[in-house]
């Protein structure tokens, strides 16, 4: 029995998130269907992150156990031949039997994308958050500086979370502007429910001049979601990479 690790890219527009549920079609469900079609096995696909409805991925990771002997180099091609065009397996490798895509992840990187333009885009509407007004990039970057390091991010966690603690470590939080595009890049050892979108919404409030950047330190200390900025829409969020320490 092999344990295989997939790298997956998907457009989350038409799906109810990653995790299987009763009220809509999900990424996990479609991938398990594709794996069963190719291997003739009913598998349990374990994802590194449970992305919400409308959220995208460029580097989602997921593992499953299989008795299939299909070479790892050929499995992505086989899966992509049966999967819909908005889900693609872009890598595959064999990992140890005890490997778990979620529990063994060391850090994850998300990117929140903002289209900062006077008029909305017909093309970008499913992949960016549209913000028409002027934004103060330096205020957003100053606000970001208060959030790096190991802290309690309870103020940036939506209700419904099952996390036992709000403590997470943000290794990187950067605000990058290129033309009309503003990217908020967050790399951390883990994320609370809606944490990336809540942090992005709070930095956006600072950029709009609605919040002093230094107030973000107070938001952290309050440990209360009511004091942070809004949770931005899902379509601007991308799970970009998941990092592991995989032995050769």
Residue 52 is among the residues annotated as catalytic for this protein: yes
Of these residues, 11, 52, 152, 174, which one is catalytic?
Answer: 52
Show the 3-state SS of the chain. Answer: CEEEEEEEEECHHHCCCCCCCCCCCCHHHHHHHHHHHHHCCCCCCEECCCCCCCCEEEEEEEEEEECCCCCCCCHHHHHHCCCCCCEEEEEEEEECCCCCCCCCCCEEEEEEEEEECCCCCCCCCCCCEEECCCCCHHHHHHHHHCCCEEEECHHHCCCCCCCCCCEEEEEEEEEEEECCEEEEEEEECCCCCCHHHHHHHHHHHHHCCCCCCCHHHHHHHHCCHHHCCCCCCHHHEEEEEEECCCCC
CA neighbor of 148 nearest in space, from 173, 167, 168, 185: 173
Beta carbons within 10 angstroms of residue 43's beta carbon:
16
How far is residue 34's CA from residue 151's CA, in Å, rounded to a whole number?
Answer: 40
Residues acting as catalytic residues: 52
């Amino acid at each position: 029995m092999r344990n295989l690790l997939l790298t997956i890219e998907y457009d989350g527009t038409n799906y109810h998130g990653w995790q299987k549920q009763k009220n809509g079609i999900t990424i996990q469900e479609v991938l398990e269907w594709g794996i069963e079609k190719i291997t003739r096995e009913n598998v349990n696909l374990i994802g590194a992150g449970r992305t919400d409805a409308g959220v995208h991925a460029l580097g989602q990771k997921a593992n499953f156990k299989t008795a299939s002997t299909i070479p790892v180099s050929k499995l992505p091609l086989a899966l992509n031949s049966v999967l819909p065009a908005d889900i693609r397996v872009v890598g595959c490798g064999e990992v140890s039997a005890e490997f778990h895509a979620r529990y063994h992840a060391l850090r994850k990187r998300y990117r929140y994308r903002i289209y900062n333009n006077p008029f909305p885009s017909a093309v970008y509407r499913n992949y960016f958050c549209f913000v028409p007004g002027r934004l103060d990039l330096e205020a957003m970057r100053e606000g970001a500086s208060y959030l790096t390091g190991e802290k309690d991010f309870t103020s940036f966690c939506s209700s419904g979370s099952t996390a036992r603690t709000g403590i997470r470590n943000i290794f990187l939080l950067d605000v990058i502007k290129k033309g009309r595009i503003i990217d908020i890049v967050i790399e951390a050892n883990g994320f609370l429910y809606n944490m990336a979108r809540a942090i992005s919404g709070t930095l956006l409030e600072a950029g709009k001049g609605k919040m002093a950047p230094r107030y973000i330190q107070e938001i952290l200390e309050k440990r209360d979601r009511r004091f942070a900025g809004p949770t931005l829409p899902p379509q601007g969020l991308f799970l970009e990479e998941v990092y592991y320490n995989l032995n050769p």
